[in-house]
Chain A
């Protein structure tokens, strides 16, 4: 056992792992309810999760800011409809500070291993800062947090500068360089227009063309922001309008003809308007049904691609030799820099190899056929473990924060129930978990995620299941998953009293 320095929160009621939107959101709600027995373990040196790690040029949310924020902390100060990443990070830092989370946060506290103790029915979490003990463990570890590099032979031999979009090297001067960007997903299309301005040459390796719709971004004027400050209801009204509008876009994901056609038209007419060269247009035209992968929003990506110093290589990066990058189409490019914007480990989460439930079973083993959880929050064999923003929570059409908040409500009700029932342990049965997962699989089978003819990060390639995706309206998630029903849980054991 590592030596532990004294820490008043070493032994608590709730251990939260991760200080992104999920972990902080739960922490804020606990504080507001006057709870003090909780600790938030974060491996990095600050809060913010995705918004701490993604500092690439052009980083911004793609769900409008008034909606992409906590409902219980609306923000009148967003500079624009799609605020830059720095502002979102600042928003989260201010939230953590002003809501009094400081004393609860432990940085450099990576969860190396979490174990359910069968004797006292509690969790032990091992970190570089010693062990923490808790009745309840909350994995708020995200699923767009552990970077994924492409499996490209020779990548490690690249003689130039190479980094992932979520680990941007701001010390390396990019101006005047020959830069390759690998990938054309949500990050890449924000990065490319920025790099196009400064690069000598920019090559974009595109495995599959994305659908891009107009962004309709705009700044909020001082008068608007002032109104938001003076009358909070006006922020809420905008948020509600954005929420219900976005939720209606699920009809296209559910492949309802007219809505699907409308979504395609919005993207393809944007392409037509911005790109006149038929050959380039063909390269930029996706070969799957819209919504199968995340629909991207950009007004400056297509113009950037058409700059004389930018080349769209409509083929994947295939191998690297020294300073030469070869595409799958056989083209060779001499490069000084490779920016890898290939996303994250999504379906086989590193954190799941570190959580051990009953019988020392790893969550990753429990999930060997794909991750799943009852109401996206609880798994069989892992008592008193709750997942935030885990399986079955991703949306292509609405804000993830809404989903996280619904889960927080479930969790708070579960904690209340435990308090009222002598701290009894909450655990779902495999049957209940499987029945829920089966319904999600059936739902997903009706959506574009499964039927759209693409492979996306919402899918688990080991089994073809859409394990990350919530295959319904966002509002339906709240309707179904926010309510806590004690009858769904077994609750025999009792956590031992805290030391």
Chain B
């Protein structure tokens, strides 16, 4: 589902290679930080609806790349039937892994729709994925989410400016929005996309269903939910926690836009999981962090 891009990303000081590959008529771009730094598995990042490697991972990419290799995929939006969207996108991720990081375990980390795509990729090709992180993901689009999707659609027809405000309202947690100045709110609002590609991704969101693929996920998995997420409510993450055998679960105090609201905490969770996926056993709820 969609998230703001308040953080226009660059990889800053971190070296990165840009590459692309073709699947049918889709061009898939990716960024690779190349430098291994350590014996840790590389991390593959998959962005969410309306985002890109840069807009969703402007923080995570360079900061994770300081300690391990990171590859971020820019998903191409498939044009076919929306219920095939998740598998078409998963194929892109699988193709990038096979091309850039062949024959080695990777930790695949997806955010929002990217979590759905990552779960699909891990369930259909368990050989490619050594560890899986699902941030603000969901198991199967439910009625609450469809209702939000309906409003999105209707506003896109009737009032694009209201749609942007609605997106900001849905993406960020109430406590975060409450702290912002008028100017900051306007900056957030204007960062949202409402274009055709975005609309196509919203259609894919409507049809997400991981019920069959989730049980096929074999690797250690970390599920990260936002306590205040309106778009993929934390109970959806809990459903993933129930459906994936080797899963552990944790919450960050955030809305859906956790990559913007709690990026440092995500770096902590991802880096710690990548270094030791079995630090907590399958079925564990991570201890509450009290910094």
Instruction: Assess A240 versus B66: contact at CB under 8 Å? Given A71-B290, A256-B12, A257-B13.
Output: no
**Please, could you name 17 A-B residue pairs with CB atoms under 8 Å apart, sorted by A?**
A237-B253, A244-B291, A247-B265, A250-B63, A250-B264, A251-B62, A254-B66, A255-B12, A256-B13, A256-B62, A257-B10, A258-B7, A258-B8, A474-B291, A475-B291, A479-B268, A479-B271
- In whole angstroms, how far apart are the Cα atoms of A109 and B71 in the complex? 57
Q: Does A446 contact B (CB under 8 A)?
A: yes
Q: Which of B9, B13, B59, B289 contacts A240 (CB 8 A)?
A: B289
- Asked if residues B14 and A256 are in contact (CB atoms below 8 Å), the reply is yes
Q: Which of A240, A243, A244, A256 contacts B63 (CB 8 A)?
A: A256
Q: Quick one: which of B53-104 are within 8 Å of A by CB?
A: 58-59, 62-63, 66
**What distance in Å separates the Cβ of A274 from its nearest Cβ neighbour in chain B?**
18
Q: Which of A251, A257, A260, A402 contacts B291 (CB 8 A)?
A: A402
Contacts of A446 in B (CB 8 A): 13, 66
Most chain A CB within 10 A, of B11, B58, B265, B291, is at B291
Most chain B CB within 10 A, of A239, A446, A476, is at A476
- Asked if residues A475 and B263 are in contact (CB atoms below 8 Å), the reply is no
Q: Does B175 contact A (CB under 8 A)?
A: yes
Contacts of B290 in A (CB 8 A): 71, 236, 240
B61's nearest neighbour on chain A, judged by CB, is: A256
- In whole angstroms, how far apart are the Cα atoms of A241 and B265 in the complex? 10
Q: Does A37 contact B (CB under 8 A)?
A: no
- In whole angstroms, how far apart are the Cα atoms of A126 and B37 in the complex? 47
Contacts of B289 in A (CB 8 A): 240
Q: Quick one: which of A244-273 are within 8 Å of B by CB?
A: 244-245, 247-248, 250-251, 254-260
Q: Which of B13, B253, B262, B268 contacts A254 (CB 8 A)?
A: B13
Convert B251-281 into 0s and 1s, putting 1 for each residue whose CB lies closer than 8 angstroms to a CB of A. 0010000000011110110011000000000
Convert A442-453 into 0s and 1s, putting 1 for each residue whose CB lies closer than 8 angstroms to a CB of B. 000010000000
**What distance in Å separates the Cβ of A314 from its nearest Cβ neighbour in chain B?**
31
Contacts of B267 in A (CB 8 A): 473, 475
- Asked if residues B268 and A475 are in contact (CB atoms below 8 Å), the reply is yes
- Asked if residues A240 and B62 are in contact (CB atoms below 8 Å), the reply is no
Contacts of B263 in A (CB 8 A): 248, 251
Convert A429-473 into 0s and 1s, putting 1 for each residue whose CB lies closer than 8 angstroms to a CB of B. 000000000000000001000000000000000000000000001
Contacts of A247 in B (CB 8 A): 264-265
A472's nearest neighbour on chain B, judged by CB, is: B66
Q: Quick one: which of B195-239 are within 8 Å of A by CB?
A: none
- In whole angstroms, how far apart are the Cα atoms of A2 and B43 in the complex? 62
Instruction: Assess A258 versus B58: contact at CB under 8 Å? Given A236-B290, A243-B291.
Output: yes
- Asked if residues B62 and A244 are in contact (CB atoms below 8 Å), the reply is no
- In whole angstroms, how far apart are the Cα atoms of A243 and B268 in the complex? 13
**What distance in Å separates the Cβ of B21 from its nearest Cβ neighbour in chain A?**
27
Instruction: Assess A259 versus B12: contact at CB under 8 Å? Given A250-B264, A254-B62, A473-B267.
Output: yes
**What distance in Å separates the Cβ of A46 from its nearest Cβ neighbour in chain B?**
29
Convert B27-47 into 0s and 1s, putting 1 for each residue whose CB lies closer than 8 angstroms to a CB of A. 000000000000000000000
Contacts of B14 in A (CB 8 A): 256
Contacts of B11 in A (CB 8 A): 256
Contacts of A244 in B (CB 8 A): 262, 264-265, 291
A399's nearest neighbour on chain B, judged by CB, is: B291
**What distance in Å separates the Cβ of A171 from its nearest Cβ neighbour in chain B?**
41
- Asked if residues A473 and B264 are in contact (CB atoms below 8 Å), the reply is yes
Q: Which of B9, B58, B253 contacts A241 (CB 8 A)?
A: B253
Contacts of B271 in A (CB 8 A): 476, 479
Q: Please give 15 more A-B residue pairs, beta carbons under 8 A apart, in addition to A256-B63, A258-B58, A476-B271.
A: A236-B290, A237-B175, A243-B291, A244-B265, A248-B59, A251-B63, A256-B10, A257-B12, A257-B13, A258-B7, A258-B12, A473-B267, A474-B291, A479-B271, A479-B272
- Asked if residues B12 and A248 are in contact (CB atoms below 8 Å), the reply is no
**What distance in Å separates the Cβ of A281 from its nearest Cβ neighbour in chain B?**
23
Contacts of A258 in B (CB 8 A): 7-10, 12, 58
Contacts of A248 in B (CB 8 A): 59, 263-264
